[in-house]
Chain A
Amino acid sequence: MNLLQRYIIQFYSFLLKDNANGLSIAFFCKSLYAFLFLKVIFSWPVLQKIVLYSDSVFWDQYKLQAFFIVILISLLVGLVVRVNYLVSTIIFLLSFFLSRWSKPITNGSDLVLNLFLFISIFFSGRAAFQNEIQQVLSNAAMLFCRVQLALIYLLSGFDKLRSVAWRSGDAIFSTINLRYFFDPLLDIEVSKTWFMLAGRGIIIFELAFAFLIWVPKFRVPLLWMGVAFHLVIIFLLNLPDFGLLMILTYGIFIPVREEKRISGKIKIS
């Protein structure tokens, strides 16, 4: 059996898994909803200012209040009820709309959030699948989330690998001197060797994550390393939204009980 055939078999076996992973999906989706809920609450005073200081003719304070109520209610419903297509779609659309409108205060976390909220539309939150389409769609969405997370790390890791500044550690020096990001009270004075080690360590971690996350024995250690990496981003680079969201997306990789395989259904012609 060649490599391609093996991948095809693995792909089909994943799509045809009959364990709906309801808990795992609920944990993943609801953590994203909770994140968005907190983001709306904390950014609300600033969103009102964005309307005041932008030349938007669409928004006024009444529409703004209505949007605020609708998004919070949708998120509360999403947090309480079982994950379903309708609520997931509404939440994705509201989040997409919100990030378009709040562009002055958005960052990479908003793009990542919207990507995963979009994919989560196809999740089935039921304990058991009702039909084969639901089963294949939900499993494909889960696989797609995992692939996307790995690709995000691969893109960042490869970009850094190409960068002389990242390989030499100069980029770490640049990062800790970024105004409005790095804690101004912290004074880090280390040799260039340490900067280089940190820069290369980050490159190795990001590239390793993209590939080794698929190997079960490396998964848990990589997730813990990722949590530590993003905690540094939260506390030293003052990007709580980005760091927290990346940690939450790990939910899609949290090992669940070995699912029942239906290998008998797989036939490769």
Chain B
Amino acid sequence: MKKFSNILFLAFGLHLLISFLFILSPVSLGKTRVSRIYLTYLLPGPFFSEARIVNSDIFSVSWKINEQWSVPIDPGWEYFKRYQENHNPTDLYESRLARTLYERLQMHVLAEDEILKGKPFLALRKYLDDYYIPNGADSIKISRIRQKAKDFVISMDTLNVISFK
């Protein structure tokens, strides 16, 4: 039993040592697969790190029907507002799903033709067709605006738009 306890003690010590290394100098152990797994599953966080809170991507979709563009809607935002009203966590999950479907397009990285050929676009298209876009719409437009909140100022950073039929 003493041997087992000694092994546990060494394992604890090693874990603490590795964790402190990651915490004090996140790049010290490199970006290997092992370090990624360690950080993801054994040392979750850091939460609300600076890089993750500065930018918010705002997505919206509108469609043209009878030569008129609809008012743009943002499904993620609609669900979020609904959560504010009824506090049903399902609406928060819906909001996260809608945002993820948009974010997967990687509009800030990929060119429009690459986006339109990708699987994330097909998934989003199916989602929008199922829940939002009425039959007979002849054009659809998706836009992304990056809102930046930094140095105590809010600014609209970039804008991407893709249109398709």
Q: Which residues of A contact B5 (CB under 8 A)?
A: 12, 15-16, 136
Q: Which residues of B contact A178 (CB under 8 A)?
A: 53, 56, 149
- Among B36-44, B64-72, B105-113, B134-142, the stretch that binds chain A is B36-44
Shortest distance between the CB of B123 and any CB in chain A (Å): 4
B100 touches A104 (CB 8 A): yes
Q: Which residues of A contact B162 (CB under 8 A)?
A: none
- Among A17-25, A65-73, A165-173, A216-224, the stretch that binds chain B is A165-173
Q: Which residues of B contact A8 (CB under 8 A)?
A: 9
B1 touches A154 (CB 8 A): no
User: Chain A's interface: helix, strand, loop or mixed, by majority?
Assistant: helix
Q: For the complex, is B132 an interface residue (Cβ under 8 Å from A)?
A: no
Q: For the complex, is A55 an interface residue (Cβ under 8 Å from B)?
A: yes
Contact of B56 among A53, A155, A180 (CB under 8 A): A180
- In angstroms, Cα B50 to Cα A165, docked, is 7
- In angstroms, Cα B96 to Cα A70, docked, is 25
- In angstroms, Cα B83 to Cα A185, docked, is 12
- In angstroms, Cα B72 to Cα A98, docked, is 33
Please judge, given known A-B contacts A111-B40, A170-B150, whether A43 and B54 are in contact too, CB under 8 Å.
no
Q: Which residues of A contact B47 (CB under 8 A)?
A: 108, 156, 242
Interface string of B68-102 (1 = CB under 8 A from A): 00000000110011011000111011111101110
A158 touches B23 (CB 8 A): yes
A155 touches B50 (CB 8 A): no
Please judge, given known A-B contacts A108-B45, A136-B5, A160-B46, whether A179 and B97 are in contact too, CB under 8 Å.
no
Q: Which residues of B contact A242 (CB under 8 A)?
A: 47
Q: Which residue of B lies closest to A173 (CB)?
A: B152
Q: Which residues of B contact A130 (CB under 8 A)?
A: none
Q: Which residue of B lies closest to A106 (CB)?
A: B96
Interface string of A38-76 (1 = CB under 8 A from B): 110011011001101111000000000000000000000
Shortest distance between the CB of A198 and any CB in chain B (Å): 12
B152 touches A155 (CB 8 A): no
The 3 closest A-B pairs by CB, nearest first: A159-B46, A177-B149, A104-B100
